[in-house]
Amino acid sequence: MQSEARKRKVKSILVTLPKPDTEKSPYFELAKKYNVKVDFRSFIHVEGVPAKDFRKERINLADYTAVIFTSRNAADHFFRICEEMRHEVPAEMKYFCLSENIALYLQKYIQYRKRKIFFGKQTASDLAEVLKKNAAEKFLYPCSDVATEETQKFLQENGYNFTTAVLFRTVCSDLSDLANVFYDIIVFFSPSSIQSLYKNFPDFEQNTTRIAAFGASTQKAIQERNLIVDIPAPMPNAPSMTMAIEQYIKMVNK
């Protein structure tokens, strides 16, 4: 499969994410700079767990003094479930966010300065010091049904009193309209997106399509399907997906 045909010029890219809200996305810059067509299509979407199903878990929201957010989705569905359960979030609730972006996003729901909000750079271990200082708290960890185990593992290993609450599910999107559409590069960001590809197209063959994959778990899921990862990221010389794609385009579009 590593034939010359697989190294042909890149003219079209499909990014398996929703279209960015801002025109400043590096993908738009990439499209303009190299005159390539870049389309966006989310291969997966999120559905909230209804309050009636959440009640079956017998989790009493009033028992918790702190919440750990690993994504904006987690924040959205935590506040949604609180509203559906008619639970008023106490003013003294503490929030621990994996990144500053998530922390700033909380302004959608709460007064930022009045609450106790802590954030790390990207992982739970970044919050190690601040969590240690708040070890007496009873933590709620809102997540999806395919939550990454990293945060959970960190909390378990460090003996924190936490409860996992599955508040939303990751669901494969219907991609039937893409059946006869060809792209030179398809960009993946999660194992769930690979799952969606095969749910929609069980007989998918890579042929001359180049695959870009962000993160070790995504790359592993692709290789387990006997597909080739042509553009891996992050790499030391390409910390972002767009940088890795740009380097590849430079190489093949000479």
Parent domain of 109: 47-170
- The rounded distance, in Å, linking the Cα atoms of 197 and 190 is 11
Domain identity same for 138 and 222: no
Domain identity same for 84 and 188: no
What's residue 126's pLDDT? 80
Residue 228 lies in a domain: yes
What's residue 111's pLDDT? 81
pLDDT exceeds 70 at position 113: no
What's residue 1's pLDDT? 40
CATH for 161: 3.40.50.10090
pLDDT exceeds 70 at position 117: yes
Residue 178 lies in a domain: no
Report which of residues 187 and 144 the model is more confident about. Answer: 187
Residue 96 lies in a domain: yes
The answer to whether 73 touches 47, Cβ cutoff 8 Å, is no
Q: Residue 98: which of 62, 125, 76, 136 has the closest Cα?
A: 125
3-class DSSP state for residue 167?
strand
Domain identity same for 193 and 160: no
Domain identity same for 159 and 189: no
Domain identity same for 59 and 162: yes
- The rounded distance, in Å, linking the Cα atoms of 152 and 157 is 9
Residue 223 lies in a domain: yes
For the chain, the average pLDDT equals 92
Residue 30 lies in a domain: no
Residue 26 lies in a domain: no
Q: What is the mean pLDDT of residues 184-204?
A: 95
What's residue 213's pLDDT? 97
Domain identity same for 140 and 215: no
Backbone angles phi, psi at 105, to 5 degrees: -65, -25
Residue 5 lies in a domain: no
Domain identity same for 65 and 154: yes
When divided into structural domains, the chain yields a total of: 2
Residue 51 lies in a domain: yes
pLDDT exceeds 90 at position 212: yes
What's residue 114's pLDDT? 57
